[in-house]
Amino acid sequence: MAAPTRHAPAPPHDLPRNFGDLRASGWQSTPVSDEIRRNACARIAAGEPLVGGVLGFEDTVVPQLENALLAGHDLILLGERGQAKTRLIRALVELLDEWMPVVADSEINDDPYQPASRFARLRVADEGDDTPIDWVHRSDRSGEKLATPDTSIADLIGEVDPIKVAEGRYLSDELAIHFGLVPRVNRGIFAINELPDLAERIQVGLLNVLEERDVQIRGHRVRLPLDVMLVATANPEDYTNRGRIITPLKDRFGAQIRTHYPLDTRTEVAIMNAEAALPHGGPPVTVPEYLQEVVAEISQLARRSPHLNQRSGVSVRLTIANYETLVANAVRRALRNGEPVAVPRVSDLSALASSTQGKVEIEALDEAREQEVLAQLVAAAVLSVFRRRVTLQDPGQVVGSFEAGVVVHAGDDLPATDYMSVLADLPALEPAVRALAGPAAESPAMMASALEFLLEGLHLTKRLNKDASGTRALYRSRK
């Protein structure tokens, strides 16, 4: 899969437009590894982040990445799905110089001082100082390919173009070649996602790119001294001698960096808030912090669950999709009940089944077992956050309020006003609910969310009974 289309800005008007002016300007040609190293050094020295928009890697992945770039290494990122590998790679483009001169009309970004293609060499030889110069923005200096078993050498390196041959060129003529993705990002960064998925014979074709920095096309005596930084990603399961990677290619990468999922709930929440696309146009949405933590905790627990297939990983995309679903369910309720604000509740967590099932692999065959495992994950996440967040001064008084036979109905379709009447009947609950709602305690929707969370926590800590049916629940005394 090619990288997404970008719209580069127009180059400034004061840049040199021909070879003579370029030399007069004092511009110096720099290998791409040196260019990236120079800009990385400037960022590190200034205390700026090496890559932007990636959270949770500051003390683990980023130091290794800095070392690899300062060493001028090609690198491979190893990690399960959803560990920001592709985002890291795309962020490396920002370490290139903003503008780079090339011989005009060159297909492979030829350096005016050291042209690699025959087309550029002939043009510079014929036109000398009058050779026109184009300027390429850094956003156009990267290429990306998702490795698939049917990827060919023609895709990556190039192939003889039959149309050019039909126009009268010889098969041995370099000008008859249609260049592939790698030569077209000469003097830039080329990324291959899921490298082991390439057929072995195609992996062999990359050896020259990494070691000799040139390419061979169908045995023709064509040598292109390419200047490319090669970056790849792979799943650790596949990147072994027993997997689908050939040892000589593995040996060519200078750095192997292991990525990981967020190490704590706080980081997972930060990523979730940065990436989630919440609905617009409906009622305003307020998500209590404790429910944000519950959504993140579900993913954290899933990565340690023996009931899930950990080889396939539990992506951060699960957290993001669950958060969006939680908010969507709350918005749907607010719209149907005519409420001015949408605030998610514990009862909305039942809607997460649709966004969870496709993103985890449960070690069970029957559907009933699958639902049970997901319900256990949600319950464990709520319990964990409840124990962190809630301290009841007198839990006996709260529980005692139910011993007179009072029951509380909850559900993801009930309006917030139904919960306010509960607090009127059970005044012992109100201080704990208000403390949980915090500054927004005057909002019925926030109070309803806090009440549900408190009731679910009391149930999970064995202080209340709960009778559940679908998305409805009834909380009552255990006596």
From CA 447, how far away is CA 463, in angstroms rounded? 21
Residue 241 pLDDT class (50, 70, 90 cuts):
low
**359 alpha-carbon distance from chain centroid:** 14
Question: What are 255-298's pLDDT values in tens digits?
Answer: 999 999 999 999 999 999 999 998 888 899 999 999 999 999 99
Class level of CATH domain 31-96+141-258: alpha beta
Question: Is-above-0.95 flag for pTM?
Answer: no
> What b/e sequence results for 95-127 when a residue is b if at least 16 CB atoms lie within 10 Å of its CB, and e otherwise?
bbeebbbbbbebbbbbbbeebbbebbeebbeee
Q: What number of other Cβ atoms are within 10 A of residue 166's Cβ?
A: 9
DSSP state of 206: T
Contacts of 37-40 with CB under 8 Å at 24 or more apart are 37/69, 37/70, 37/72, 39/95, 39/96, 39/97, 40/66, 40/69, 40/70, 40/95
From CA 92, how far away is CA 253, in angstroms rounded? 17
Q: Which of 65-79, 155-169, 328-342 has the lowest mean pLDDT?
A: 155-169
Q: 158 or 252, which is more confident? A: 252
Question: What are 315-325's pLDDT values in tens digits?
Answer: 999 999 999 99
Residue 189 pLDDT class (50, 70, 90 cuts):
very high
Residue 242: the pLDDT is 57
Question: What are 80-110's pLDDT values in tens digits?
Answer: 888 999 999 999 999 999 999 999 999 999 9
Q: What residue spans in the chain does CATH classification 3.40.50.300 cover?
A: 31-96+141-258
Question: What are 289-305's pLDDT values in tens digits?
Answer: 999 999 999 999 999 99
Task: For residue 354, give every residue at least 6 positions away whose Cβ sits within 8 Å of its Cβ, in sequence order, or none.
Answer: 325
From CA 412, how far away is CA 148, in angstroms rounded? 44
Residue linked to tokens 């061979």 = 216
Judge whether residue 1 has pLDDT over 50: no
Judge whether residue 367 has pLDDT over 80: no
Alpha helices in 61-152 (DSSP H): 61-70, 85-91, 118-127
Contact 314, 299 (CB under 8 A): yes
Say what percent of the chain tops pLDDT 70: 93
475: helix, coil or strand?
Answer: strand
Task: For residue 363, give every residue at least 6 positions away whose Cβ sits within 8 Å of its Cβ, in sequence order, or none.
Answer: 306, 307, 308, 309
What tokens does 212 get?
């000799």
From CA 252, how far away is CA 208, in angstroms rounded? 10
Q: 419, exposed or middle or buried, with CB in 10 Å at 0-12, 13-18, 19+?
A: buried
